């Protein structure tokens, strides 16, 4: 892939699923980006164009044939025998027209659906490739609005949007092409309409563009707050804030409504509707003058005015077709806004990919969140393979941040972290993370079965392996207490389980992947006292042969650690064994007294 279009990403798809370089290179401009996606299906675009031209040409055949029929009837004597031929000719042309119109509509719909699929896939994989720093700044509801509704608007941009734009544009050209057969000057009216129509559409889109951007932004805000309220429903109800949330939702909904009304106001003042009436009246008057001079027949006037009536189709459909185009471009702009945001971490596919032994060394490591003071500063320590270190400190001292630097959830601001004497930034990120398992206090479980949640990090695991991992995590018995056992479906985020049960499933998930480095971030805080001893045995067993970092306040876990680090305000203030620290460290002793 060309280096000029290379993007930093934590996650890279296999080659057969890669986004083409032409699309990557076009991401700076929404129109170019959509066009690059469209060019993958140029043959469908060609089919749509052929159908649109054929549809317009055969639509214009009807007034022309009707004009010929008028002239045949008004001849002296009338040629009645021609009427059947003209009627059959209209029927035949309209059958062919219907087939071409079907091809046009089918091609446009297929383009829209394929672009929606491709762009949704590109957007989703882009989100997976972003760092946690990136994701922590994104409102989930707004991301969902962009991933669903904004992508959908790009579909609508093609069908019905561009489909009707292309189809209706041909209806404008047909009167220009065929009016000259009656009299050369009759092309003036449709030509004037074409020029004024282009100017009016340009002004319409210019005025509409900021409004459609505002519409999509207001919808994102509405969706974002709704997602927050639903996700935090327990807090809302616990604080009896339902009424204020309803008021806030009404406020956001009203803002979205106001933006939609502004769009409707612009559409209501759509100038081509007036232009069409004036041009048709002027064109008819011109034709009547030519008739009075003996330059046209009655049938010619009927045929010509029928051609002018074709201008009604592009005029009326453009009222909403161009709105779809503008909304599609606005949606593409919002999607690209997230895709193009830079992420700090790269997967480093060509990086070191060896089997991990588990040696860890921190060398003067510091880390600061964006626009914040350093949360970790000048940290130095090392662990040999198989050793266990307990990291303790007050809330906000930087313990969790330190742990997340090991697997590059975040990257160090300065200094270096080495695993097996290789800087973590030089590892292949996927290989690095597959050999490190982090169990946090806030456990995330999917709305799948218990077995699928345990096997999340190892989808090909056998049932026997899943059961063995659950037994090691002291989860087997409570799993079997459910009617469907391991096939029990969990609610979203495991809401049907207790905190201790969720954490034991997370432990089972970690045991199954057999990591070389195990990080426990206060992972047993919700486990009840009745099972704590068994859990401690399971963790002790799991830690054997693995390098283990434990963030905890539980004395039962701290005491059997090989080494203990006491962190205060992001710095290691003291270290040693439990016995050494109890005897020599006032800070360590104070933590236990608290």
Residue 268 lies in a domain: yes
Residue 161 lies in a domain: yes
Residue 84 lies in a domain: yes
Residues of the chain with pLDDT under 70: 1-8, 12-17, 76, 80-81, 234, 237, 239, 344, 491-495, 523-538, 541-542, 556, 591-594
Confidence at residue 410, expressed as pLDDT on a 0 to 100 scale:
85
Phi, psi of 130 (to 5 degrees): -90, 155
What span, in angstroms and rounded, lies between the C-alpha atoms of 559 and 547?
16
Domain check: are 300 and 381 in the same one?
no
Residue 7 lies in a domain: no
* Neighbour-count burial for 196-209, b at 16+ CB within 10 Å, e otherwise: bbeebbeebbeebe
H/E run at residue 570:
none
* Sign of the C-alpha dihedral computed for residues 439, 442, 448 and 449 taken in this order: positive
Q: Which of 307, 339, 371 is the last residue of a domain?
A: 339
| 556 prior amide bond cis, ω within 30 | no
Domain check: are 154 and 282 in the same one?
yes
Domain check: are 163 and 222 in the same one?
yes
Residue 114 lies in a domain: yes
For 418, the token pair is: 């080495």
- Give the rounded percent of residues in the chain with a pLDDT score beyond 70: 91
For 254, the token pair is: 């009203």
CB-count exposure of residue 137 (10 Å: 0-12, 13-18, 19+): exposed
Residue 286 lies in a domain: yes
Per residue in 84-95, pLDDT tens?
888 999 999 999
Confidence at residue 286, expressed as pLDDT on a 0 to 100 scale:
93
Domain check: are 43 and 105 in the same one?
yes
Domain check: are 364 and 333 in the same one?
no
**Residue labelled with tokens 């930087």:** 398
Global pTM reads: 0.74
Domain check: are 400 and 327 in the same one?
no
Q: Are strands 547-551 and 388-393 parallel, antiparallel or unpaired?
A: parallel
User: Which of 548, 551, 530 lies closest to 539 in space, CA to CA?
Assistant: 548
Q: Which of 339, 369, 386 is the last residue of a domain?
A: 339
Phi, psi of 104 (to 5 degrees): -65, -50
| CA distances, 484 to each of 316, 473, 480, 493, 579 (Å) | 59, 19, 8, 18, 47
Confidence at residue 4, expressed as pLDDT on a 0 to 100 scale:
39
Domain check: are 183 and 301 in the same one?
yes
What span, in angstroms and rounded, lies between the C-alpha atoms of 210 and 203?
12
Domain check: are 255 and 143 in the same one?
yes
| Domain encompassing residue 50 | 19-339
| CA distances, 233 to each of 157, 229, 237, 249, 499 (Å) | 36, 6, 6, 14, 18
**For residue 427, what is the DSSP state?**
B
CATH number of the domain within which 400 lies:
3.40.50.300
Domain check: are 550 and 485 in the same one?
yes
CATH number of the domain within which 247 lies:
1.20.1560.10
Domain check: are 364 and 329 in the same one?
no
What span, in angstroms and rounded, lies between the C-alpha atoms of 159 and 32?
18
Number of folded domains that form the chain: 2
The answer to whether 592 touches 555, Cβ cutoff 8 Å, is yes
What span, in angstroms and rounded, lies between the C-alpha atoms of 389 and 479?
31
Domain check: are 446 and 567 in the same one?
yes
Domain check: are 541 and 577 in the same one?
yes
* Sign of the C-alpha dihedral computed for residues 510, 511, 516 and 522 taken in this order: positive
Radius of gyration of the chain (CA): 35
- What lies within 8 Å, CB to CB, of 489 at 6+ separation is 447, 448, 449
Residue 355 lies in a domain: no
**For residue 240, what is the DSSP state?**
T
Residue 477 lies in a domain: yes
| CA distances, 571 to each of 157, 283, 521, 550, 558 (Å) | 55, 85, 18, 17, 19
What span, in angstroms and rounded, lies between the C-alpha atoms of 482 and 447?
16
| 388 prior amide bond cis, ω within 30 | no
């Amino acid at each position: 892939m060309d280096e000029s279009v290379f993007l930093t990403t934590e996650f890279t798809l296999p080659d057969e699923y890669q986004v083409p370089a032409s699309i990557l290179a076009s991401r700076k401009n929404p129109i170019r980006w959509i066009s690059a996606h469209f060019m993958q299906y140029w043959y469908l675009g060609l089919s749509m164009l052929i159908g649109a031209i054929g549809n317009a040409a055969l639509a214009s055949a009807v007034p022309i044939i009707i004009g010929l029929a008028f002239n045949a009837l008004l001849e002296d004597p009338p040629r009645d025998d021609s009427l059947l031929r003209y009627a059959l000719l209209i029927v035949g042309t309209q059958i062919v027209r219907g087939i071409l119109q079907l091809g046009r509509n089918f091609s446009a719909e297929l383009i829209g659906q394929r672009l929606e699929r491709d762009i949704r896939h590109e957007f989703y994989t882009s989100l997976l490739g972003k760092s946690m720093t990136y994701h922590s700044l994104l409102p989930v509801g707004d991301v969902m609005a962009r991933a669903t509704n904004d992508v959908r608007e790009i579909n609508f941009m093609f069908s019905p949007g561009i489909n009707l734009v292309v189809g209706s544009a041909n209806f404008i050209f047909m009167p220009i092409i065929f009016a000259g057969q009656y009299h050369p000057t009759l092309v003036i009216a449709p030509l004037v309409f074409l020029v004024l129509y282009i100017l009016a559409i340009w002004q319409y889109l210019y005025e509409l563009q900021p409004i459609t951007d505002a519409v999509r932004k207001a919808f994102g805000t509405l969706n974002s707050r709704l997602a927050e309220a639903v996700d935090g429903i327990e807090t809302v109800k616990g604080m009896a804030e339902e009424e204020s949330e309803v008021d806030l939702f009404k406020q956001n909904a009203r803002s979205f409504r106001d933006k939609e009304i502004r769009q409707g106001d612009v559409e209501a003042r759509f100038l081509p509707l007036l232009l069409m009436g004036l041009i048709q009246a002027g064109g008819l008057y011109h034709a009547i003058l030519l008739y009075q001079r003996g330059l046209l027949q009655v049938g010619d006037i009927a045929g010509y005015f029928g051609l002018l009536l074709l201008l009604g189709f592009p005029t009326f459909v453009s009222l909403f077709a161009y709105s779809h185009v503008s909304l599609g471009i606005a949606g593409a702009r919002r999607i690209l806004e997230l895709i193009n945001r830079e992420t700090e971490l790269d997967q480093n596919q060509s990086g070191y990919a060896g089997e991990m032994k588990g040696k860890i060394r921190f060398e003067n490591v510091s880390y600061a969140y964006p626009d914040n003071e350093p949360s970790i500063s000048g940290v130095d320590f090392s662990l040999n393979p198989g050793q266990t270190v307990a990291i303790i400190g007050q809330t906000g001292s930087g313990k969790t941040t330190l742990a997340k630097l090991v697997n590059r959830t975040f990257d160090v601001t300065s200094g270096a972290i080495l695993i097996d004497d290789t800087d973590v930034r030089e590892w292949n990120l996927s290989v690095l993370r597959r050999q490190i398992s982090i169990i946090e206090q806030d456990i995330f479980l999917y709305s799948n079965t218990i077995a699928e949640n345990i096997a999340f990090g190892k989808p090909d695991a056998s049932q026997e392996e899943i059961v063995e991992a659950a037994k090691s995590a002291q989860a087997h018995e409570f799993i079997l207490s459910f009617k469907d056992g391991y096939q029990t479906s969990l609610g979203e985020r495991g809401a049907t389980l207790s905190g201790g049960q969720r954490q034991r499933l997370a432990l089972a998930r970690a045991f199954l992947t057999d990591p070389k480095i195990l990080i426990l971030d206060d992972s047993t805080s919700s486990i009840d006292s009745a099972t704590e001893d068994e859990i401690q045995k399971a963790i002790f067993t799991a830690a054997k042969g693995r390098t283990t970092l434990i963030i905890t306040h539980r004395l039962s876990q701290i005491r059997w650690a090989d080494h203990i680090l006491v962190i205060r305000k992001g710095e290691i203030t003291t270290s040693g064994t439990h016995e050494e620290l109890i005897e020599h460290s006032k800070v360590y002793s104070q933590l236990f007294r608290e």
